[in-house]
Structure 1
């Protein structure tokens, strides 16, 4: 089954003329309304990102997910991502186990390195330990998930000796996904551990990721994991409307402004309309337009990579709340049924 859902980073609107940033309180309330609608229209999962910046509303995804659990019934609720390098895995497990209990077994953790580095000084970690922190903390998180009583020794925190870990997640077991960009070592590590991977395809041509997909699948198979349980997904910048060209034109200023805000801190050149237009083409990384355009592209990516999950990253630049609600409605009522129908036919006619 191909799961279809939405990822968000909690972007705040920034007034291009004044630089005034939207109230986080307003945006947080909007996000809960949006997740409620996702559940109502039958989407499969929601992922919330973690950031520690003025222009993002969410520093603790698990708090948003706990709030969302109280207004939803079926949708899976996960992070997108939890920056485990700068987080205490014990606290992370306990928080998500709590969300899992509140939601009746719908919680997930997506572990990753994050898009930004602000969390490292906030929580007192050194960037020179970037890779070692990720590996050690992922190891601890996986052991916490499997063992109610743990013995563990590492470099960056005190040892755990016969330590009981409560609360425990439901029998669902709190799935852990790994989020990756284009890093070969991360892909191979996930395959060796038998963990599902979410590839962030947020620039360029989406087909260029094929070698990484093949590498991940090979590592997964080589280490003896059951291919019937193989899971892999993509996270792509997306936005949906009723009219293809109107949607593309209307969303461009919002998207370009966000790319330029991020780019200014990373030394990128100004974002160009030609980049956006290529992104919206059949080869590009953006899924922005009407339902038919989205259906065709999601199915093309699914067929190429054998996806089990597609995540539409839908709040880049923080579009207007009502436009977000419309985009979610179109995704759930027009796009998802057609994609599910087509993928069922592929499975029955291999």
Structure 2
């Protein structure tokens, strides 16, 4: 078991703005889904969730292509919740513009912005914005290096091969604090060590299989952080799930959407077809947090304990699950699951 930190334990909700259907099965427009995401963020704020994060994609099954714009909207209608990303695809964006967008969100939200940077598990943004996939690693490494240099908000001098150099350049608007920054990692040791070397938080995307298989990455991150003199850095996990009043109800509400989503992505990546057996296996022993509040709380508590986490984020939207079910899941997460996990862990 990984050592538990003394930092406060916090909880988040994540969404990619999955294209959903109404209760009658009618597909919703992208515009309506985006409006629903705002309502979901407001509900998360109302029920005491600590963080709300939206992820960037450029494909028809996800509606959020501009997470900063969504978060700016949420900044004006929420009061307490942290507003962040899951993730911004930094490789196909400009670090200076990204920093300016999030310093603006931080101002609008009175200091509630954060950012999670990633390379992107989907690659549609690369040809869309004129980047070459063969530069996948170099793009992220150079742009992450520049973004980290912007965080202290001092004049920056930087040069690389992926964008024009900067000489004693400041960026605006100036922030009232340092922007909390994480890096999303899917399980690469090199990515874990790189995150530690920059002194950033580690956010593990665990979307399949047992969570305990990621314990070596958490241990590597802590070892690297200590050896590099970066101190104790936070670790978070992002995993999918769905909550309803009973186990059976939650399983039934998610089943078709999960299998359809899994097979759509699987067909693009060369995976074999999925079905009921894999769905049930992920619920029972994998990283799919589905069930009643008690069932989900017990499973989240076990993951936090196993990995010594500072934060757990539930990706509450998967495929076409209707907005009404998502709203109830959010309410149960904030009012029942989070308090129960704290009770179980004594944190």
| Aligned pair partner of 1:40 in 33, 38, 46 | 46
Mapped to 1, the partners of 2:283 and 2:251 lie a distance apart of: 8
CA root-mean-square deviation: 1.5
Q: Does 1:242 align with 2:245?
A: yes
Q: How does 1:100-249 map to 2 (within 5 A)?
A: 100-171=106-177, 173-227=178-232, 230-249=233-252
Mapped to 1, the partners of 2:143 and 2:45 lie a distance apart of: 32
Matched with 2:97 is 91
Specify every segment of 5 or more residues in structure 1 that has no aligned partner in the other structure, as ranges. Answer: none
Native 8 Å contact 2:21 2:321 kept in 1: no
Mapped to 2, the partners of 1:156 and 1:206 lie a distance apart of: 35
Matched with 2:340 is 338
Give the TM-score normalised by structure 1.
0.94
| Aligned pair partner of 2:301 in 299, 302, 321 | 299
Mapped to 1, the partners of 2:142 and 2:173 lie a distance apart of: 22
SS at match of 2:230: coil
How far did 1:200 drift? 0.6
How far did 1:259 drift? 0.9
Native 8 Å contact 1:294 1:335 kept in 2: yes
Native 8 Å contact 1:21 1:55 kept in 2: no
Mapped to 1, the partners of 2:141 and 2:72 lie a distance apart of: 27
Mapped to 2, the partners of 1:69 and 1:341 lie a distance apart of: 30
| Aligned pair partner of 2:267 in 243, 264, 288 | 264
Q: How does 1:13-32 map to 2 (within 5 A)?
A: 13=20, 22-32=28-38
Aligned residues: 338
Q: Higher relative CO (CA 8 A, sep ≥ 6), structure 1 or 2?
A: 2
SS at match of 1:198: strand
Deviations 1:189-218 (A, max 9, x none): 112222111101101121111111111111
Deviations 1:227-280 (A, max 9, x none): 2xx310111111100011221122100111111111121121111211111111
Matched with 2:3 is none
Task: List 4+ stretches of structure 1 deviating above 6 A.
Answer: none
How far did 1:14 drift? 6.7
Mapped to 2, the partners of 1:272 and 1:56 lie a distance apart of: 22
Give the TM-score normalised by structure 2.
0.94
Matched with 1:78 is 84
